[in-house]
Amino acid sequence: MTDPKISISCPTTYTATIEEDIVNYSAAGATGIGLWEYKLGGRADAEVLDLMQEHGLEATLCCAQVPSVIVDPFFAEPAAPEDRIVAMCEAVRRFARFRPAGILITTGAPGDYDPAEARRIVVEGLKQVADVAGEHDITLGLEPYRKTSGTLVTTMKETMEMADEIGRPNVRLIMDAWHFWDVDGILDDLRDHGDRIVGVQLSDWRVSTRGWCDRVLPGDGTIDLRAVFRALEEGGYDGWYDVEIFSDNGLFGNDYPDSVWHRPADEVSRESVYKTLDLWRTRHSG
């Protein structure tokens, strides 16, 4: 198989502008960009799209400011599920202009809800969002989190079950290596169900990780990403690999001196592509 399709997700260079991201990601050799709604701000979407096309970038795994029907620890406002559904549908319509590979959705955290009631609210809400996405021929990617991150689904099997419960053909899975790498049986699941995945997010697990916002570039941590690549390849997956790094520089309460976000954005962009390609090309030697 030839080299994979590599994208960089906007939070990887969290404080850079969307214009800087487009230029840097393209110069680094990426062919896709994971758009996040917070980066678009008040900019004209048509101008952003024109710049992406000028630099040869496709929209890959996009994330709205509200990606879940009930509150997610990272995405807390608005609080009411009905308001969140409205925001999610509006974001789908906005992203439709960019023709993304997929729009990321999560379950949110059950919090004070009874788990069964939380699941009912989420499933019914995501049916509405999926119907709007279907009107625009857009795929949604349901992402499982680590148990400690606040979620209704943690394993790939649980996520597929919820997608089946939603019952819409445009609901697939986004799998994030930072969340799934130590789940029992995950390599078999990736191998057996590669056809259910719309996108894979890549980062690495820092030795003695200090929290959810302490991720490192692929190859700089302890995850066996070569094994992940092999399993996905054997499962027939040929979609996007989206490098997504959260690495706190004080924005989320911890100013790590070795934060990836302290580094120049163009350098991080180059290393995101280089390190991913190096792991991919040596996937059978690891």
Could you tell me if 171 and 122 are in contact, meaning their C-beta atoms sit under 8 angstroms apart? no
Question: Token pair for residue 156?
Answer: 């790939």
Range of 273's domain? 5-281
Residues 119 and 33: their CA atoms lie apart, in Å, by 31
Decide if 286 is inside a domain: no
Query: Cβ contacts of residue 58 below 8 Å, gap of 6+?
Result: 7, 31, 32, 33, 52, 99, 101
Decide if 117 is inside a domain: yes
Residues 84 and 80: their CA atoms lie apart, in Å, by 6
Handedness of CA 158, 159, 160, 162 (dihedral sign): positive
Residue 271: give its domain's CATH number: 3.20.20.150
What is the model's pLDDT at position 111? Answer: 85
Give the residues of the chain that fall short of pLDDT 70: 1, 286
Could you tell me if 205 and 223 are in contact, meaning their C-beta atoms sit under 8 angstroms apart? yes
Total count of domains within the chain: 1
Decide if 39 is inside a domain: yes
Could you tell me if 259 and 245 are in contact, meaning their C-beta atoms sit under 8 angstroms apart? no
The SS3 assignment for 91 reads helix
Task: Supply the angle between the helices 115-135 and 81-96 in degrees, to the nearest 10.
Answer: 30
What is the model's pLDDT at position 72? Answer: 86
* Other residues' Cβ atoms within 10 Å of the Cβ of residue 107: 28
Which pTM was predicted?
A: 0.96
Decide if 174 is inside a domain: yes
Query: Which CA distances in Å does 195 have to 190, 239, 243?
Result: 9, 10, 20
Quick: pLDDT tens for 118-169.
999 999 999 999 999 999 999 999 999 998 888 999 999 999 999 999 999 9
What is the model's pLDDT at position 49? Answer: 98
The position carrying tokens 């509405």 is: 128
Question: Token pair for residue 171?
Answer: 């609901």
Decide if 183 is inside a domain: yes
